Structures are given as structure tokens and as C-alpha cells.
């Protein structure tokens, strides 16, 4: 039994296709994150589920009920807007109780429910204030409370943390995850921040140019991206790509001034199976490259350009001709600009992509 199901859903704005043929199933109680760059259709998909947009094609099911023609107010969804959309002329209490008042509940019941969510979000002391007197974090909490107060079947959040200061963001992220664990609502969360997505999602739906790319758990999607877009979008910095071709049965010729790299048989087998020996793209994550100051037969030499020190780790930028590789290192690895090092990729973690389709060669 799925809580939300999209079947071949397409949404257009004029001639632009915002969401193309989306298929998706979300289980009850799942925390799903829509991840993608801006304009990829993730918010539009969310709005189609909420009924704020009407898809031109395909079906939207909530709790196995076809809701295409059901107006938003009958869909039983809680929606948190990017800019909160709290009503300025009402106090926090009135904002939170707003959906309950739509249902014409008894005053005492309304108060009980408001207090329940206020307790959950720890905003009891600000209930009598108007939005203009609240801080960003409190606005956020009130917006969450308003969406949660009706115990919706589906809880939809559209980039809820994007307007918060960095220091609150992590706190709010944890709070959202905690609330989800406590009440177990089916949640869809839209973000363009891959770290946020990795941190809170049960499953991530990556989107690009209106199309769903991959739907998987954060861990799986990180290590097994289906294509170059997903590989690059997840991770900070994203995956490194190097054009290459097969030289012989255990060596790749890299697009780095003809440098070479020894690889496993398994990879060669895969390449041969699809007949892409001449032109491929090798992908390797920044943390899967070790740096060796001495010549290493399992690696290739690169020049150090910039070292970005982040504290717990460093990002080392390596250069060979025009090509830049980013490598994550321990902070105690000391490198100087201009130094030559040997980059040694972890052989088991090298991924090969088809440059035409951008898909991984499996």
C-alpha cells in the first residue's frame, strides 16, 4: 500500500515541460526528499501532489485514491511553504489554529490541538505574537505547526530551511527529522541542498530538467549513482570525471595528457560488454582518491593548485593541463601549491559512464 503514487505525470507551463513523465511511489510513513538544482521540477511535482498545480497528463494518487480532480482543501495535505506564508494579521496561535477553524471544531478541541503541536515544536511562549515579531526560526516552527496541526495524511515541505541562517538550519533539520520519527507522517521534503537530503531522507528522489533520475536511499544513491548528473550533484565536492579510453586489458588511457591508470578486470569486462572501449568517462569521488607524494604505479601525477582547508578535511585541487581534480584529504596532509603528487584512485570505487547517454556502464 503506497501513500503517494504518481503515474506518468507530466506538467507543462506553456511550452516548457516542468515535470516529464514522473513515476513515483512513496510508502506510508516514509521520509522522501526531492533533490535537484533549481528549475528541475521538484517543487512543481510537490505542488501537483498538493493540488496547487494540475498536471496535464498522468495520475496522482494519495492513499490509493485518485486525486487529480480533488481540490487542495480535500486532499488532506499539510504544506509548508518556502517563505512560510504565515498570515501577518494573525497571531501565531491564530495561524496554527487556522486549519482547525476551517473544520469548525470546538474551541476547547482547537486549543488542545494547538497546544499539542506547540509543545512538539517548543513554541508555547510565542503563541500570542504576530509573525512580524518572530525570528526566522520561530516563523519556521509556526509554519510547521500550522501544517502539522490537522495531522495530515501527507506532509509536504517546500525548501523549508532555505531562508534560515546557517546556524539555525542544522538545528531545524534535526527538529524536522525528530518530528517525523515521533509522529511517523508520510513526508516529502524538497531541497536543492544535497547535504540536507543525505542527512534526513529515507529515500532521495533526484531530479534534473523535469525528469526523475534516481530514487534510492541516500547511502545507495551516493555510491551507485545511475548517471553523471546524480554522481556530480550528490557529494560536496561532486564526483570527478575524467574522459578515458581502454588501452589494453588492464589499463585506461586518461584524457589527462595521455596519463594512464591500471584498473580491475571487472571494469574492463563491463566496458567490453557494451563496446565502449574508445570513449568513456571515468568517475571517482574526491574521498576515494589517495595522494602519494612519491611516484606510484597505481596512480598518475598531478600538480597541486589550491588547498581549501575546511577544518576536519581539506579539499585539494589538482591540475593537469586544463583538467581539475578535487580530492578530499585528512587535514594533516600538508601540500604546497606547485607540488607534484600522485593521485591514486580506489580501484573498487571507480565508476564508468557513457559520455553519450551520461548513464553508468554497469
Could you give the CA distance from residue 119 to residue 137 in angstroms, rounded to a whole number? Answer: 15
Q: Which DSSP category does 360 fall into?
A: B
Q: Which stretch binds other proteins (CB under 8 A): 80-88, 120-128, 193-201, 271-279?
A: 80-88
Q: Does 38 bind other proteins (CB under 8 A)?
A: no
Q: Does 334 bind other proteins (CB under 8 A)?
A: no
What residues from 199 to 218 belong to the interface with other proteins (CB under 8 A)? none
Q: Does 294 bind other proteins (CB under 8 A)?
A: no
If the CB atoms of residues 83 and 272 are measured against other proteins, the closer one turns out to be: 83
Shortest distance (Å) from residue 162 CB to other proteins = 8
The residue to which cell 596512480 is assigned: 299
Q: Which stretch binds other proteins (CB under 8 A): 38-46, 128-136, 235-243, 332-340?
A: 128-136
Parallel, antiparallel or unpaired: strands 31-35 and 186-191: parallel
Could you give the CA distance from residue 339 to residue 341 in angstroms, rounded to a whole number? Answer: 6
Does residue 300 contact residue 341 with C-beta atoms inside 8 Å?
A: no
Q: Which DSSP category does 160 fall into?
A: T
Shortest distance (Å) from residue 74 CB to other proteins = 8
Binding mask 83-122 for other proteins (x = CB under 8 A): xxxxxxx--------xx--xx-------------------
Number of H helices, E strands in the chain: 9, 20
User: What is the number of other CB atoms lying within 10 angstroms of the CB of residue 113?
Assistant: 20
Q: Does 79 bind other proteins (CB under 8 A)?
A: yes
Q: Helix or strand or coil: residue 305? A: strand
Instruction: State yes or no: cis peptide before 247, omega within 30 of 0.
Output: no
If the CB atoms of residues 62 and 204 are measured against other proteins, the closer one turns out to be: 62
Q: Does 139 bind other proteins (CB under 8 A)?
A: yes
Shortest distance (Å) from residue 102 CB to other proteins = 4
Q: Does 71 bind other proteins (CB under 8 A)?
A: yes
Q: Which stretch binds other proteins (CB under 8 A): 29-37, 81-89, 183-191, 264-272?
A: 81-89
Could you give the CA distance from residue 249 to residue 200 in angstroms, rounded to a whole number? Answer: 42
Query: Both ends of the chain: CA-CA distance in Å?
Result: 31
Shortest distance (Å) from residue 86 CB to other proteins = 6
Q: Does 7 bind other proteins (CB under 8 A)?
A: no
Does residue 313 contact residue 325 with C-beta atoms inside 8 Å?
A: no
Does residue 250 contact residue 347 with C-beta atoms inside 8 Å?
A: no
If the CB atoms of residues 3 and 325 are measured against other proteins, the closer one turns out to be: 3
Residues of this chain that interact with other proteins (CB under 8 A) are 50-52, 71-73, 77-79, 81-89, 98-99, 102-103, 131-132, 136, 139, 146-147, 150, 162-163
Amino acid at each position: 500500500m503506497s501513500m503517494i503514487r504518481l503515474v506518468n505525470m507530466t506538467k507543462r507551463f506553456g511550452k516548457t515541460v516542468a515535470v516529464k513523465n514522473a513515476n513515483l511511489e512513496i510508502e506510508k510513513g516514509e521520509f522522501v526528499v526531492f533533490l535537484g538544482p533549481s528549475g528541475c521540477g521538484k517543487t512543481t511535482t510537490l505542488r501537483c501532489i498538493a493540488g496547487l498545480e494540475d498536471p496535464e497528463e498522468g495520475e496522482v494518487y494519495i492513499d490509493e485514491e485518485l486525486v487529480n480532480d480533488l481540490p487542495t482543501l480535500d486532499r488532506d495535505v499539510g504544506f509548508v511553504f518556502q517563505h512560510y506564508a504565515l498570515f501577518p494579521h494573525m497571531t501565531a496561535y491564530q495561524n496554527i489554529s487556522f486549519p482547525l477553524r476551517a473544520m469548525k471544531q470546538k474551541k476547547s478541541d482547537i486549543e488542545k490541538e494547538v497546544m499539542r503541536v506547540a509543545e512538539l515544536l517548543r513554541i508555547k511562549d510565542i503563541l500570542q505574537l504576530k509573525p512580524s515579531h518572530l525570528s526566522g526560526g520561530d516563523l519556521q516552527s509556526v509554519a510547521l505547526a500550522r501544517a502539522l496541526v490537522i495531522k495530515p495524511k501527507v506532509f509536504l515541505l517546500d525548501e523549508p530551511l532555505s531562508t534560515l541562517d546557517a546556524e539555525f538550519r542544522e538545528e531545524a533539520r534535526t527538529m524536522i527529522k525528530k518530528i517525523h520519527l515521533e509522529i511517523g507522517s508520510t513526508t516529502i521534503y524538497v531541497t536543492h541542498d544535497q547535504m540536507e537530503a543525505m542527512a534526513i531522507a529515507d529515500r532521495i528522489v533526484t531530479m534534473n530538467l523535469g525528469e526523475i533520475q534516481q530514487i534510492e536511499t541516500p547511502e545507495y544513491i551516493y555510491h551507485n549513482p545511475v548517471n553523471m548528473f546524480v554522481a556530480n550533484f550528490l557529494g560536496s565536492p561532486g564526483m570527478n570525471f575524467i574522459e578515458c579510453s581502454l588501452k589494453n586489458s588492464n589499463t585506461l588511457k586518461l584524457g589527462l595528457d595521455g596519463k594512464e591508470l591500471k584498473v580491475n578486470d571487472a571494469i574492463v569486462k563491463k566496458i567490453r560488454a557494451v563496446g565502449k572501449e574508445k570513449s568513456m568517462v571515468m568517475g571517482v569521488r574526491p574521498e576515494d582518491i589517495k595522494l602519494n607524494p612519491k611516484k606510484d604505479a597505481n596512480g598518475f601525477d598531478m600538480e597541486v593548485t589550491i588547498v581549501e582547508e575546511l577544518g576536519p578535511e581539506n579539499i585539494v585541487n589538482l591540475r593537469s593541463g586544463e583538467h581539475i581534480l578535487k580530492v578530499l584529504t585528512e587535514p594533516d596532509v600538508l601540500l604546497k601549491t606547485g607540488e607534484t603528487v600522485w593521485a591514486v584512485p580506489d580501484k573498487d570505487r571507480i565508476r564508468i559512464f557513457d559520455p553519450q547517454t551520461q548513464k553508468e556502464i554497469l
